[in-house]
Structure 1
Amino acid sequence: MIYVVFCDRLGNNLFQLGAALSLSSEITICVPLENEYELTLKYKDTFFKGFPILNYIPNGISVYEESFYHYSEIPYTIGTNLIIKGYFQSYKYLNRDKVLEQFAVDKVTMEFIQLTYPKILNGGYTSIHVRRGDYLKALHKHPFCGINYYLKAINLIGENENFILVSDDIGWCKNNIKLKNIIYVENTSPIIDLYIQSFCDNNILSNSSFSWWGAYLNNNNNKKIIMPSLWFGYRFKVDVKDLILPSYIVIKNRYSLILFLKSLVQMISEKKYF
């Protein structure tokens, strides 16, 4: 049995469960933080279906804790019990067939997308994901990609192509990303936003595990996946090479001066220095 410890939000949880799926079909999900436990329960019939969800971590079981931010083989023997902790943000941990089976779209979500956004199911759409909300409060950890990154990515696809945009700040997007053929997704749940991305022909990612998974679940054989080079801020010194699949297109981006200065202020306020 694999006991996988969840932390943070949905995109990170998918990596954590994905790593567990590659090891065993016998999995228990452990979510020790109360607010994260309640969030996990929202997906017990979709992404996490078929697995028990505990609000604690069992005692007396060996623990493996990820020590690097890239792939390292998890020492698990079938038939034994192991608790795994970490983010496991590497495509090398994932068994794609098992992941696609476990994370297949549910009936309710599919029917909603068919009814509300039927055009994307006919092909010819590129998703754009813009994450701003919580990132703007933690720029030293998770920098906003910046408008120039999105304009470069759109140019690679073709600005006259069809786009559909999901974001936690649709107002900003409407004011700054104006295209001839674009749909702004509003008032939907995270599960809808994620699957909308997966049904598109191509995907423009933000520096977010949420949009990473929208692209990974995309089954288009000829897809273009575009992602930023700047994934984390100065607070984290990590190599994210294992987030980049061989076919992905990486656009080099960097802090704007204003965002850089804001990130420094945030670091100092936390008393966290280089």
Structure 2
Amino acid sequence: MFQYAAGRACALRNNTELRVELSAYDRPPRGQEAARKFELPLFLGEVPTATSADLARINAFNHNRTYKAYNRGRKLLGLTPAYTYCQERVPMHFDPTILSSTGQLLYVDGDWQNEKYFTAIADELRRLFRPLGIETDAHNFQLSQELMQVNSVSLHVRRGDYINNEVHKPAPLAYYQAAIEKVKTEVASPLFYVFSDDIHWARQHLNFGEAACTFLDHNTGADSYKDLFLMSCCRHHIVANSSFSWWGAWLTSNPCKLVIAPSQWLAILQVQAADVVPDSWTIL
């Protein structure tokens, strides 16, 4: 979603079409990467993808001397480059280069996990990233309507693939308890809704005191993406160090939302939450 959002914003600035390159989904996960499926069609329908001809052109500009010389010539003449390769220089650190990148053909390579890459199209993304046909899912749609009518607070606990991961670690229990207490002091009559890939752990460890709490565990497997939609319908959020709940919180349209994020985003100290979360969110 981050890559699509940044790519779409870049394509619109350059008045061109966005095509996504899916080769990363064709290889097995590396190291401690989690296996992923390309699920944007669940939100967007048919997504234009890069063709073999597109990739051949990119390869030519990267390696063919004639193509390279032609591209340099256009730049020297002050013309729009025929090809621009825009790579995120430091993952999870905002890199403004993409915002000024131009080209008749652009290859945008990176994670782009910062809202500054796509703030200009925020309203459009909030319309696009809505599951197709969700209105026909009676249970989830009815629940979504209920979430929007109360002071709902989504709380996301991600554990599963984080437990034995050296890069990603679960947010500590102390973070969740501090976040719960902060919500209780700032939100009137909050109703907590817990989403997790380890709902048993969440039930056993989270303490909400007298506050109302519901543990949601009906969307599993291929339906997990519907939890993201339900999160987006909540008015406030306690997110995990996870892009899943990041998007659930970001997609919420409530202008007065309270969003709380953990201070440590990755287990490596070089990446803090401040590099990833919007300025308006609260970091604990």
Instruction: Give TM class, smaller chain.
Output: 0.7 to 0.9
Query: C-alpha displacement at 1:81, in angstroms?
Result: 1.1
Report whether the alignment pairs 1:65 with 2:87. yes
In the alignment, what sits opposite 2:47?
A: 51
Which of residues 218, 229, 241 is equivalent to 1:195? 229
* Residues 126-182 of structure 1, C-alpha deviations (whole Å, 9 max, x = no match): 0000000101010x3112111110000000111862100111100100111143411
Residue among 135, 140, 147 paired with 2:162: 135
| Residue 205 of structure 2, aligned match among 172, 176, 186 | 176
Aligned to 1:34: 26
Return the match for 2:4 from 12, 17, 20.
Answer: 17
Unaligned residue ranges in structure 1 (runs of 5+): 1-13, 252-274
What SS does the aligned partner of 2:194 have? strand
Structure 1 residue 90, shift from structure 2 partner:
1.1
- Matched with 1:108 is 134
Q: Which amino acid aligns with 1:233?
A: A
Assess if the C-alpha contact under 8 Å between 2:262 and 2:273 holds in 1.
no
Cα distance change, pair 142–44 in 1 and its aligned pair in 2 (3 A): same
* Residue 54 of structure 1, CA deviation: 4.9
- Label 1:122 to 1:142 Cα distance change in 2 as closer, same or farther (>3 A): same
Q: Letter of the 1:125 partner, please give it.
A: S
SS at match of 2:19: strand
Q: How does 1:114-125 map to 2 (within 5 A)?
A: 114-116=141-143, 118-125=145-152
* Structure 2 segments unaligned to the other structure (5+ residues): 29-34, 59-82
Specify the alignment match of 2:65 in structure 1. none
| Structure 1 residue 118: Cα displacement | 4.4
- Residue 63 of structure 2 corresponds to none
Q: Which has the higher helix share?
A: 2
Tell me, yes or no, if the aligned pair for 1:21 and 1:99 is still in contact at 8 Å. no
Tell me: higher relative CO, structure 1 or 2? Use CA pairs within 8 A at least 6 residues apart.
1
Q: CA–CA distance in 2 between the matches of 1:223 and 1:240?
A: 18
Distance 1:238 1:151, change over 3 A: closer
Partners in 2 of 1:167 and 1:54 — Cα distance? 34
Tell me if the contact between 1:126 and 1:201 (Cα under 8 Å) persists in the aligned partners.
yes
Amino acid at match of 1:182: C
Query: Which residue of the partner structure matches residue 258 of structure 1?
Result: none
Q: What is the identity, as a one-letter code, of the residue corresponding to 2:274?
A: K
Identity %, equivalent residues: 25
1:219 Cα deviation from its structure 2 partner: 0.5
Aligned partners of 2:233 and 2:252 also within 8 Å: yes
Q: Which has the larger radius of gyration?
A: 2
Structure 2 partner of 1:212: 246
**1:208 shift after superposition:** 0.7
Q: Work out the CA distance in 1 between the residues paired with 2:265 and 2:199.
A: 21
Paired position in structure 1 for 2:191: 162
TM-score after normalising by structure 1? 0.76
Structure 1 residues 27 and 92: alpha-carbon distance in aligned structure 2, compared to 1, 3 A threshold = same
Deviation sequence 1:18-44 (CA, Å, 0-9, x none): 10111124111111132689821x431
Aligned to 1:244: 277
The one-letter code matched in structure 2 to 1:39 is K
Shift of 1:244: 2.6
* Structure 1 range deviating more: 129-138 or 22-31: 22-31
